[in-house]
Structures are given as C-alpha cells and as structure tokens.
A = this chain, B = another copy of it.
C-alpha cells in the first residue's frame, strides 16, 4: 500500500519516539540510551534501533574493544525527522496542563454489569 505508512509507524512507535528524541542531543551508547529511555527493555530497544537503522535514521558504530562498545548517532536524515518528533513532544510537555484541564471524565455510557 502506502510505503510511508511503515516509516511513520517506526517513527511514531512507542519507543521510536523516545529514542529519536533521546539521540537528538548527541551520540549515546546502548546502555546510556537504555537509561535515558525510561522503561524500555533490552529487546525492545534493540528492535527499535534496528528498525530506525534500517530506515536510515540511526547510525550504528561498533568498536572492537573490550569491553564492547556500540555508539548510536542520528544520521542527517534522522536529525531532520527527530526535529519534527521533538516539536510534537515539546508541544505536549508545554501544553500538558491545558490538556489535563480540557480532559473531563467522560460521562459513563455503559454501566458495569451486575
């Protein structure tokens, strides 16, 4: 179908958003990124990074040292998309109070079964 759907879903995925924003400020190692993205498991971080790497948004650099070291950096393409994502997350953080105020408890449309 539409090829941009897949890319969009990688970028807007739960962890994709946070990884892109996390790398926005600069290169990070795997463990640093994991600490910065609160709540992500190793597996999901790894999967998310592979998807973003495959899309050309993230550069993965492996160093042959002991202990192993892997750096993750946004590509120029990644920086551009991350800027868009960050604009969104920044808007939410700046306006979270307005949202909290607008959010009303929805009148119950269904009652719990008895």
Contact = CB atoms under 8 A, between A and B. Distances in A.
Contact of A93 (B4, B38, B91): B4
Contact of A103 (B1, B54, B87): B54
Contacts of A7: 92, 96, 99
Interface size range on A against B: 35 or more
A56 B104 CA distance: 8
Contacts of A88: 8, 11-12, 81, 84-85, 87-88
Copies per complex of this chain:
2
A17 interface: yes
Contacts of A13: 12
A106 interface: yes
